[in-house]
């Protein structure tokens, strides 16, 4: 998705069950939401910054967090922790920053995951 433009991201995310919640053409921002069973939610925000697309994912689904970690596991160049933030350097793609917080109201089995994917300068979107 980092290599595609925002219009192609619309098609991809709607095919995955997300609905377009907010679209700002002037600022090149889009927000998508997905509500699953058991009060599990996921929000994806896409921002076109020149020829790069920044992705921010907010979810309370451990499965999505685990899926991301498993999918980048063989491509990780460097892992680090900066305070409460997990940082991953993914070969030829992006830097990924993950913050994990307790849910409100507190639930021992559920966490809030804020994931930011910032592509490298040489990874550009197709117009």
pLDDT in tens, 66-125: 999 999 999 989 899 988 899 999 998 899 999 999 988 888 888 999 999 998 887 665
- Backbone dihedral region for residue 38 (phi beyond 0: left; psi -120 to 50: alpha; all else: beta): left
Domain ranges of the chain: 6-119
Element (H or E) spanning 46, and its range? strand 40-49
pLDDT in tens, 32-58: 999 888 788 999 999 888 778 889 999
Contact present, 31 and 44 (Cβ < 8 Å): yes
Does 127 score more than 70 pLDDT? no
Contact present, 59 and 72 (Cβ < 8 Å): no
């Amino acid at each position: 998705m980092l290599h595609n433009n925002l219009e192609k991201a619309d098609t991809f995310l709607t095919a995955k069950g997300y609905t377009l919640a907010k679209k700002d053409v002037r600022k090149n921002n889009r927000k998508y939401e997905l509500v699953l069973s058991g009060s599990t939610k996921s929000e994806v925000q896409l921002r076109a910054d020149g020829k790069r697309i920044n992705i921010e994912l907010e979810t309370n689904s451990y499965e999505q967090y685990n899926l991301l970690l498993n999918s980048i596991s063989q491509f990780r160049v460097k892992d680090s922790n900066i305070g409460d933030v997990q940082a991953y350097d993914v070969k030829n793609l992006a830097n990924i920053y993950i913050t994990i917080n307790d849910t409100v109201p507190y639930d021992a089995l559920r966490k809030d995951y804020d994931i930011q994917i910032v592509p490298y300068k040489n990874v550009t979107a197709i117009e």
